[in-house]
A and B are shown apart, each in its own frame.
Chain A
Amino acid sequence: MIEAKGLTKHYGKKLAVDQLSFNVTPGVVTGFLGPNGSGKSTTMRMIMGLDAPNAGDVTVNGRHYHDLAWPLHEVGALLEAKAIHPGRSARNHLLMLARANRIAHRRIDEVLEIVGLTSVATQRAGKFSLGMGQRLGIAAALLGDPEVLLFDEPINGLDPDGIRWVRTLLKSLAQEGRTVFVSSHLMSEMALTADEVVIIGKGRLIVQTSVEELLAQSSRQFVRVNSPDLATLRSALDADGATTTAEDDGSLSVRGKDHREIGELAARLSIVLYELTPQSESLEEAFMTLTESSIEYHGSGLTVPASVQETVQ
Chain B
Amino acid sequence: MTITAPATLAPERQLPKGHYAITDLLRSEWTKLLSVRSTMWTLGLTIFIGLGVSAIATIETRSHWLSQPPQSHVGFDPTSLSLTGVFIAQLIIGVLGVMVMSAEYGTGSIRATFSAAPRRPLVLTAKVAVFGFVALVVSMATAFLSFFVGQALLSAPAVHATLSTPGALREVAGTGIFLFLIGLFALSLATIIRHTAGAISTFVGVLLVLPTVLRALPSSLFNAIDPYMPSRIGVTLLSLHPNQTGETAFSPWVGLLVLGGYTVVLLIIGGVMMVRRDA
Residues of A within 8 A of B (CB): 45, 48-52, 65-66, 68-75, 77, 79-80, 82-89, 92-93, 95-97, 99-102, 110, 113-114, 116-117, 119-120, 124, 132, 140, 142, 145, 147, 161-162, 165, 168-169, 172-173, 176-177
Contacts and interface: CB of A to CB of B under 8 A. Distances in A.
Contact of B35 (A49, A95, A172): A95
Given A80-B108, A116-B3, A140-B112, A70 B16 contact: yes
B114 to A, nearest CB: 6
Looking at B9, B15, B114, B117, the one whose CB has the most chain A CB atoms below 10 A away is B9
A99 B13 contact: no
Interface of B: 1-11, 13, 15-16, 18-20, 24-25, 27-29, 31-32, 35-38, 103-104, 107-109, 111-119, 276, 278-279
B191 to A, nearest CB: 17
Contacts of A102: 16, 20, 24
Contacts of B35: 88-89, 92, 95-96
A110 B7 contact: yes
A85 B20 CA distance: 23
A119 B13 contact: no
Nearest to A48: B115
A169 B5 CA distance: 8
Contact of A51 (B6, B11, B279): B279
A40 to B, nearest CB: 15
Contacts of B13: 73, 145, 147
A169 B6 contact: yes
B272 to A, nearest CB: 14
A85 B16 contact: no
A169 B76 CA distance: 73
Nearest to B103: A85
Q: Chain B contact residues: over half helix, strand or loop, or mixed? A: loop
Contacts of B6: 114, 165, 168-169, 172-173
A102 to B, nearest CB: 5
Given A85-B36, A99-B31, 11 more contacts: A49-B114, A50-B111, A50-B115, A66-B118, A84-B107, A89-B35, A96-B31, A99-B28, A101-B116, A113-B4, A116-B1
Contacts of B115: 48, 50, 71-72, 75, 77, 79
Contacts of B8: 172, 176
B114 A85 contact: no
Contacts of A173: 6, 9
Contact of A72 (B1, B10, B11, B116): B116
Nearest to B108: A83
Given A95-B31, A161-B3, A68 B9 contact: no
- 6 closest Cβ contacts across the A-B interface? A83-B108, A69-B19, A92-B35, A100-B28, A100-B116, A51-B278
B243 to A, nearest CB: 46
Given A89-B35, A173-B9, A177-B11, A114 B20 contact: no
Contacts of A51: 278-279
A27 B105 CA distance: 34
A50 B114 contact: yes
Contact of A49 (B3, B4, B10, B118): B118
Given A79-B111, A116-B4, A119-B1, A69 B15 contact: yes
A88 B36 contact: yes
Given A72-B116, A73-B13, A116-B3, A101 B24 contact: yes
30 contacts: A45-B111, A45-B278, A50-B111, A50-B278, A65-B118, A70-B19, A71-B118, A72-B116, A73-B16, A83-B107, A85-B107, A86-B107, A88-B36, A89-B35, A95-B35, A96-B29, A96-B32, A97-B112, A99-B24, A100-B25, A100-B117, A101-B24, A101-B117, A102-B16, A113-B4, A114-B4, A114-B7, A140-B112, A161-B3, A165-B6
Contacts of A124: 37
Given A95-B35, A96-B32, A102-B20, A83 B112 contact: yes
A49 B120 CA distance: 11
B5 A168 contact: yes
